Amino acid sequence: MIILAIETSCDETSVAIIEGKGGLKNPSFEILSNIVLSQVKIHKKWGGVVPSLAKREHQANLIPIFKKALIKSELLKPTTVVGSQNRQPLSVLAILNREPELLEQFLKFIPTIKIPKIDVIAVTVGPGLEPALWVGVNFAKALATVWNKPIVAVNHMEGHIVAVLLQNGGISNFQFPISKKNQNSKSKNKNKIQFPAIALLVSGGHTELVLIKKWGDYKIVGQTRDDAAGECFDKTARMLELPYPGGPQIAKQAENFKKYPLTFRMGGWTRREMEREAFNIKLPRPMIDSKDYDFSFSGLKTAVLYMLRDMKERHVNIGDFTPMICNEIQQAIVDVLISKTIRATKEFGAKSIILGGGVAANKELRAQMKKDVKDKLSSAVLYLPPQKLTTDNAAMIAAAGYLRVIKRKTAVTNWQSLKLKAQGNLEL
């Protein structure tokens, strides 16, 4: 099955075309194209994503990105019968009524190409920023209208879960055949994710532990009560005057800090002095010992705020300490995420652990999770998505769309359906 997917839930405009095979039992994918355009430069100066700007950028960029995806997957064929696709011009005008710039480009470009050989259009309907989501949803509706193709509505978080399936045509980033049994196993199922599985989803808007009984069967067993892990990275980075998005910035500073020799001098301090004497920087690990699987990161953010205020009052040059503070912020977040994931894996008897979402790009989280899974769990296997597919992209939406079509969990709607809509707070 060939799936064309559209993702516009936040600040990445993305279109992908992938081929899915193997059904729910043994899903595997080949990415034919996955074009992602980040709007980060636009939102950077505001310190976070501005929904109206995100909408404007998606509108302006969807057609060029879509065209690139068709070219890359070799599905772009010019048509000689110009206008043959304008079967529903009036409905397209109505569908893209609120996206005039997209409409104009749509009407110029779509009639010039042949209907590509795709089976279904997948689109993210939520969760995310509603104005941004609507652009993708309306684009999908308009395409489905002129091409007469079915649409499948996809939950963005399911996309983050199934990103783990998107490598080398299927699962291959299989990290730990931990148990001896697994290590010696030559069975062909070696790379197949075994259920139940626990997924840790960590993005800018979500922090969730999800129990997966099989593909398409998800139960949230824990989630953040306030800020998401990515949001905590972003907000604390802002306090340290680091640019948006903060996660990669904090990670970079922390990595530098770890590289410094103990005698390395930053400002007036050696690293040893900083660690031993200066400001014994120790941030809280909120809810790490709570019996449930919920998270809370707003307390950590406030602790950073107070710590910085205190340092300023003492006339300390915060810039000198930024790498050290970043290291501690990252470690506090990583400690909580790993501890809860390991406990949930034990309690639910999960055989597999899946990591997903933008924060899953974090190298320390990946490395420390690998180590702890190996040391503390005897029989669970950790699956990590390829680093570049942890942040938002349409390939993961296409993969989730494939599983949904196979499962028919969400009925595949045809283009006349009026039910398809953006749902900012959609749950898994």
Binding site for ligand KG4 (CB under 6 A): 10, 203-205, 230, 233-234, 245-248, 251, 357-359, 361-362, 391-392
Nearer to ligand KG4, 297 or 402 (CB): 297
Nearer to ligand KG4, 247 or 286 (CB): 247
How far apart CA 21 and CA 27 sit, in angstroms, is 6
Contact of residue 236 among ligand KG4, Zn ion, none (CB under 5-8 Å per partner type): none
Strands 120-126 and 2-7: parallel
Secondary structure element (H or E) that encloses residue 126, with its range: strand 120-126
Residues 188-207, mask of contacts with Zn ion (x by CB under 5 A): ---------------x----
Nearer to Zn ion, 57 or 392 (CB): 392
Contact of residue 362 among Zn ion, ligand KG4, none (CB under 5-8 Å per partner type): ligand KG4
Q: Supply the minimum distance, in Å, between the C-beta of residue 156 and Zn ion.
A: 6
Q: Residues, the chain, total?
A: 428
How far apart CA 147 and CA 106 sit, in angstroms, is 13
Largest CA distance in the chain: 77
- Position 11 contacts Zn ion (CB under 5 A): no
Contact of residue 251 among ligand KG4, Zn ion, none (CB under 5-8 Å per partner type): ligand KG4
Any idea what DSSP says for residue 295?
B
Nearer to ligand KG4, 143 or 166 (CB): 166
What's the angle, vertex CA 140, arms to CA 138 and CA 143, rounded to 5? 110
Q: Supply the minimum distance, in Å, between the C-beta of residue 25 and Zn ion.
A: 27
Contact of residue 341 among ligand KG4, Zn ion, none (CB under 5-8 Å per partner type): none
Q: Supply the minimum distance, in Å, between the C-beta of residue 176 and Zn ion.
A: 25
How far apart CA 295 and CA 223 sit, in angstroms, is 6
Contact of residue 33 among ligand KG4, Zn ion, none (CB under 5-8 Å per partner type): none
Q: Supply the minimum distance, in Å, between the C-beta of residue 359 and ligand KG4.
A: 4
Contact of residue 246 among Zn ion, ligand KG4, none (CB under 5-8 Å per partner type): ligand KG4
Contact of residue 134 among Zn ion, ligand KG4, none (CB under 5-8 Å per partner type): none
Q: Supply the minimum distance, in Å, between the C-beta of residue 238 and ligand KG4.
A: 11
Give Cβ neighbours of residue 298 (< 8 Å, ≥ 6 apart).
Answer: 226, 227, 232
Nearer to ligand KG4, 307 or 359 (CB): 359
User: What are the C-alpha distances in Å from 266 to residues 254, 272, 283, 305, 420?
Assistant: 14, 11, 21, 22, 55
Nearer to Zn ion, 245 or 323 (CB): 245
Angle between helices 51-72 and 130-147 (to 10 degrees): 40
Q: Supply the minimum distance, in Å, between the C-beta of residue 26 and ligand KG4.
A: 26
Give Cβ neighbours of residue 342 (< 8 Å, ≥ 6 apart).
Answer: 372, 373, 376, 377
Q: Supply the minimum distance, in Å, between the C-beta of residue 66 and Zn ion.
A: 20
Q: Which residues of 280-318 are buried (b: 16+ CB within 10 A; e: fewer)?
A: ebebebbbeeeeebbbbbebbbebbeebbeebeeeebee
Any idea what DSSP says for residue 38?
E
Q: Supply the minimum distance, in Å, between the C-beta of residue 396 and Zn ion.
A: 9
Nearer to Zn ion, 99 or 392 (CB): 392
Nearer to Zn ion, 58 or 351 (CB): 58
Q: Supply the minimum distance, in Å, between the C-beta of residue 241 and ligand KG4.
A: 15
Q: Supply the minimum distance, in Å, between the C-beta of residue 210 and ligand KG4.
A: 15
Contact of residue 205 among Zn ion, ligand KG4, none (CB under 5-8 Å per partner type): ligand KG4
Residue ranges of the alpha helices (H) in 204-297?
229-239, 246-259, 271-276
β-pair partners for 151: 121, 413
The answer to whether 157 and 38 have CB atoms below 8 angstroms apart is no
Residues 386-415, mask of contacts with Zn ion (x by CB under 5 A): ------x-----------------------
Nearer to ligand KG4, 38 or 410 (CB): 38
The answer to whether 390 and 173 have CB atoms below 8 angstroms apart is no
Nearer to ligand KG4, 286 or 385 (CB): 385
Which residue from 293, 170, 162 is spatially nearest to 217, judged by alpha carbons? 162
Binding footprint of Zn ion on the chain (CB under 5 A): 203, 392
